[in-house]
A and B are shown apart, each in its own frame.
Chain A
Amino acid sequence: MSRLFEASVKDNRRLAENHYLLTFHPLKKIRRPEPGNFFMLSTGNGLDPLLKRPFSIHRRTGSDIRILYRVAGRGTDILSRKRPGDVLQIIGPLGNSFPVGRSRKNIILVAGGVGIAPVFALAEGLIASLKKPVLFYGAKTGSGLLCIEELNSIGIETHICTDSGDTGRKGPVTAILREFIQGNPSVSEDCCIYACGPEPMLRSLSALAAEYGLRGYAALEQNMACGIGACLGCIVNTTGGYKRVCREGPVFPMNEILW
């Protein structure tokens, strides 16, 4: 089953300022993506923008795939103008996925901003397999908190916070999580954190996890040209040397990343 395929846009809707939810329908059967996997999507049809852009899977509905994205530059701006029926060139699913093989009692999910995209996929999968993860979700302001209704509909315990304090608790997500851990000492037994968000959030989360001796995994983002391990553009510095976000990642054990 080739991971190079075409898909037609089914829906592409604005969720909040600069944030969109794209649903595409693969025009042939593709491999089943796992939470943490990503796809490389063409944006324009010509030579500029040139490269495909990586997006993690947000949701799978039947054979359709949903991508939650922020408009961050020209490529994503062009993507945000796609209409139903438009055809995209796609490679994927690519990369590794969140390792959830072993059953764990306490699963903590942490997301910052559009980092909710892969974390939601993971949450949905965990709940489907009758686990009870707890989500800590932060953004700069309430308008940056995405898919709150979807989160409510899957019934996950969610702790919301914003930097501005206009929605949920005021403060960084790591501070809210720290309080939670302090208030629930049993949490640290057989616990695992899965996270995606901006680098400063992941860095302080990684420090928090180390402080309490918690295991954790983070899905990373990096510029990449090919997505298949050839360009060596998307490396991250780890305790084991430079690793490719597209192949050895995008999910890495937090304690291996040299922030």
Chain B
Amino acid sequence: MKLSVNLGKLKLGNPVIAASGTFGYGEEYSEFIDIGRLGAVTVKGLSLRPKDGNPPPRIVETPAGMLNAVGLQNIGIDSFIKNKLPFLRRFRTRVIVNFFGDSISEYAEAAVRLSSAKGIHALEMNISCPNKQAGWSIFGTDPRVTFRVVSAVRRATGMPLIVKLSPNVTDIALMAKAAEDAGADAVSLINTLTAMAIDINTQRPKLANVTGGLSGPAIRPVAVRMVWECHKKVNIPVIGMGGIMSAEDAIEFMLAGATAVAVGTANFVNPRAALDILEGIKSFMSARGIRSPGELTGAVKLDVA
């Protein structure tokens, strides 16, 4: 049985990735699991300069899910390269760096800066954070702007480039196509859904930021549908994510068209979740005589049984 998968030029030892923003810089989880066994670790989104993020409260639980409005708090690219990347280099897992900017030129500059660091195997462009100020969302919601920003980053780096898409659009496949046309090697989806929760006693929003991003199993069927739509539309690989809690959930994403899957909120619930999911995928494959994860990708049967 072969577990490796290819995301364009990026080869992973297995299809299970730890999703950005849920796995810190890897260190936080290393006492609980051998992170070297993961297909890839995607680190918390980075920007050129450090960011403080939003005031508290930043998270609130909702039915089978959670809202977060962390606001892209991060230590900045330079500090990451100096203080966090050396630790990740010790593992054979692939390191994907999620990053963002506030302008097209910042995105490009961040990509240049990251491309010169040793130990980074791919870049994931975040054009889809729901907690940025109004106006920023245009990077991930207007396909013409998506095309421009991805094109700029594509010119700035030769590294495998993944574009993380927002579900807060009418037609996500259109966004995936714009990313592909601009030279992305893969798309990852979905980021969180913009959402809101109100305390009926205080009549105030439960998050200081008023709105936040919904993640967890509550969003999974939406994510599966969107992966399926994107897989039909583009020829580049799709990384599926959105509420994956178990191997069964991961396999569902693969059947919908995902080449690899990312585990996010589940890491918070169980720090071993990503490896448990990998083990479950292996058992499923072996029980069914499936020789490669690729046999599952897009294998949903649409004909009437």
Residues on A lying within 8 angstroms of B by beta carbon are 2-4, 47-52, 75, 89, 91, 222-226, 228-237, 241-242
Contact = CB atoms under 8 A, between A and B. Distances in A.
Interface of B: 22-24, 28-29, 31-32, 44, 52-53, 55-61, 63-66, 68, 70, 73, 216-217, 245, 265, 267-272
Nearest to A237: B55
A232 B56 contact: no
Given A47-B245, A237-B56, A232 B64 contact: no
Nearest to B216: A50
Nearest to A2: B32
Given A51-B66, A242-B52, A232 B58 contact: yes
A51 B269 contact: yes
Given A222-B56, A230-B22, 17 more contacts: A48-B63, A48-B64, A50-B217, A51-B66, A51-B268, A89-B270, A223-B61, A225-B59, A225-B268, A231-B68, A231-B70, A232-B70, A233-B58, A233-B59, A235-B58, A235-B73, A236-B56
A85 B63 CA distance: 27
A232 B53 contact: yes
A242 B59 contact: no
A235 B53 contact: yes
12 contacts: A47-B216, A50-B265, A51-B66, A89-B270, A224-B59, A226-B268, A228-B271, A229-B24, A230-B267, A231-B59, A232-B70, A235-B56
Given A3-B31, A47-B64, A47-B245, A226 B271 contact: yes
A19 to B, nearest CB: 20
Nearest to A235: B56
Given A223-B60, A225-B59, A236-B56, A47 B28 contact: no
Contacts of B28: 226, 228-230
B38 to A, nearest CB: 14
A129 B60 CA distance: 40
B141 to A, nearest CB: 25
A50 B59 contact: no
Contacts of A230: 22-24, 28-29, 267-268
Contacts of B245: 47
Contacts of B52: 241-242
Contacts of B64: 47-48, 50
Contacts of A233: 57-59, 68, 70
Contacts of A236: 56
B217 A47 contact: yes
Given A51-B268, A242-B73, A228 B66 contact: no
Nearest to B59: A233
Contacts of A91: 271
Nearest to B266: A50
Contacts of A48: 63-64
Contacts of A237: 55-56
A57 B58 CA distance: 24
